[in-house]
Structures are given as structure tokens and as C-alpha cells.
């Protein structure tokens, strides 16, 4: 893996002003770097600002303090160097799989033949060959999320941002999608930042796991994941894997329990 820094988050803070109510500080002094081709996950209690940070990195909202840089360039708005995959698939129901995957390219005025040739490449990588002419309602939840990932990759971003992409899936499908995502990542070599509440998912997928505190979100600790690749689901039964999951859970357990009492 190259040591080139792809993403740098330097002193990011975010406070939301509310009319007639006290402001809410979501993030405080977040500093981290992600190297080219690295897979990094962020975990933490609900409300710790994880998704807010992802939206700042994507350029969807502005920080109150600090700066995000991609390849040394400050981020001020969304761009093709970043692509976001959200919790719920956002596929256009009247378009086929091929049309959905090619959608970002066609918006960018890429010639139709080139756009669909590129879409086909990522349809194949995502394991969707043969479903090009299917519509979203004809696909399972897991397949729709694979279309979402393929669409994000088709625009050739430098960084893939994943905001709980498998949260809506059942437990069995979620586990299979984790292995599918690893296969796609290994085939494309993209830099990935994943937000997840599932600690075992973070450990299974990642090179490093960044643990957030409760609001305002700060980085409590960074946990390297020195488990060998390629990985399969059997790895989750190993003592090394269980130990890493337990270490991370102990860091956030009290905050998660406190959050449950507040609900």
C-alpha cells in the first residue's frame, strides 16, 4: 500500500445553530488522515457526529472550524473525487440497473456509449451481470445496495464514503454484503471511509477503526486491525477478531448505555 495521503481531516468542528434553542456542538477538533487505498471505519455511540463528518467530507455541509483536503486540495463542495453511498438505496425506480449505474456519468455529459461501457464494468465487478435490464423493484435489498455501490464507483471517485450502507438489510444478507464489499474494494483499490454502528463489521472490513466519543464527537482512539487479507466470514470466529471487537466495545459501552437511557 502506498503511503500517499488521500484524505486529510484537519481540526474539523461543527456546531449547529438552532432558532430559539441552544446551539448543538456535533464535532470538536477532528484530525485524521487516510492513505490511498486504505479502508477505514468510524464507530461510536448514536449522535456522536459520525454521519455529520461524512457529509462535511463530501462537501454537503460546511464545517464550523477546520478544513478537509483531498489530495491536498481543500474541500468546499461536492465533487467527482468523492462519492457517497447512503443507508437507503437512492435508485431511480423508472431506470434499469444499467441506467442507474450510468446515471452520474450521463449527468456529467459523458457520451452514452462510453457511459454504459463504464457502467457495465462496475456492474460486472459488483456481481450484477445478467441484471442490467432489471428495475429496482425486481431486486433484493442487497442487490439494490450493490447497484448503489456500482453507481458510486462508476464516476471513478478518489474516495468512497459509506454511511451505514447495510443498515436496512437483514443480518444474513448484511454479512454476505460485507464480503461482497471487500471483493469490490480489492478489485478497485479505492480509498474507503465507512460509518457503521456494527463493531464486528468495522473490524472485518477495515485496516483501522477510529472510535468516536459521545457528542461532541472527538476521536477517542484509533485501533489498527492487523488481521490478514483476504478475509472471509470464518475470520469472525477467531480469537484475534473477537479480542479486537471486545476492545472497541469497551471503549464505547458506557456511552451507548447512557444514550439508551436518554431515549
pLDDT in tens, 176-235: 889 999 999 999 999 999 999 999 999 999 999 999 998 899 999 999 999 999 999 999
Interaxial angle between packed helices 141-154 and 171-188, expressed in degrees from 0 to 180 and rounded to the nearest 10:
20
Query: Can you read off the three cell numbers belonging to residue 58?
Result: 463530501
CA-nearest of 50, 40, 9 to 217 is: 50
In the chain, CATH 3.40.50.300 covers 5-81+159-262
Q: Give the count of beta carbons closer than 10 Å to the beta carbon of residue 35.
A: 16
Q: Report pLDDT digits (tens) over 18-71.
A: 888 899 999 999 999 999 999 999 999 888 899 999 999 999 999 999 999 999
Q: Report pLDDT digits (tens) over 150-160.
A: 999 999 999 99
The residue-averaged pLDDT of 7-12 equals: 97
Answer yes or no: are the C-beta atoms of 166 and 174 closer than 8 Å. Answer: yes
CATH of the structural domain 5-81+159-262, one choice from 3.40.50.1000, 3.40.50.300, 3.90.1150.10, 3.40.50.740: 3.40.50.300
Q: Report pLDDT digits (tens) over 80-103.
A: 899 999 887 789 999 999 999 999
Q: pLDDT class for 131, splitting at 50, 70, 90?
A: very high
Query: Can you read off the three cell numbers belonging to residue 28?
Result: 470538536
Amino acid at each position: 500500500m502506498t503511503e500517499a495521503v488521500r484524505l486529510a481531516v484537519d481540526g474539523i468542528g461543527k456546531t449547529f445553530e438552532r432558532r430559539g434553542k441552544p446551539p448543538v456542538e456535533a464535532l470538536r477538533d477532528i484530525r485524521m488522515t487516510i492513505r490511498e487505498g486504505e479502508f477505514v471505519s468510524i464507530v461510536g455511540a448514536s449522535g456522536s457526529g459520525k454521519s455529520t463528518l461524512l457529509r462535511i467530507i463530501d462537501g454537503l455541509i460546511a464545517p464550523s472550524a477546520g478544513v478537509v483536503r483531498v489530495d491536498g486540495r481543500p474541500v468546499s463542495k461536492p465533487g467527482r473525487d468523492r462519492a457517497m453511498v447512503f443507508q437507503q438505496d437512492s435508485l431511480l425506480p423508472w431506470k434499469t440497473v444499467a441506467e442507474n449505474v450510468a446515471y452520474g456519468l450521463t449527468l456529467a455529459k459523458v457520451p452514452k456509449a462510453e457511459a454504459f461501457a463504464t457502467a457495465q464494468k462496475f456492474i460486472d465487478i459488483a456481481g450484477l451481470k445478467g441484471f442490467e435490464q432489471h428495475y429496482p423493484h425486481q431486486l433484493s435489498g442487497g442487490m439494490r445496495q450493490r447497484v448503489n455501490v456500482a453507481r458510486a464507483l462508476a464516476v471513478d471517485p478518489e474516495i468512497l464514503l459509506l454511511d451505514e450502507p447495510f443498515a436496512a438489510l437483514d443480518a444474513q444478507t448484511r454479512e454476505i454484503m460485507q464480503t461482497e464489499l471487500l471483493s469490490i474494494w480489492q478489485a478497485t483499490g479505492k480509498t474507503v471511509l465507512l460509518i457503521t454502528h456494527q463493531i464486528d463489521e468495522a473490524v472485518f472490513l477495515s485496516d483501522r477503526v477510529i472510535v468516536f466519543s459521545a457528542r461532541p464527537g472527538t476521536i477517542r482512539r484509533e485501533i489498527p486491525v492487523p488481521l490478514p487479507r483476504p478475509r472471509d466470514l470464518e475470520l469472525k470466529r477467531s480469537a484475534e477478531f473477537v479480542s479486537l471487537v471486545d476492545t472497541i466495545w469497551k471503549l464505547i459501552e458506557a456511552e451507548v448505555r447512557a444514550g439508551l437511557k436518554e431515549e
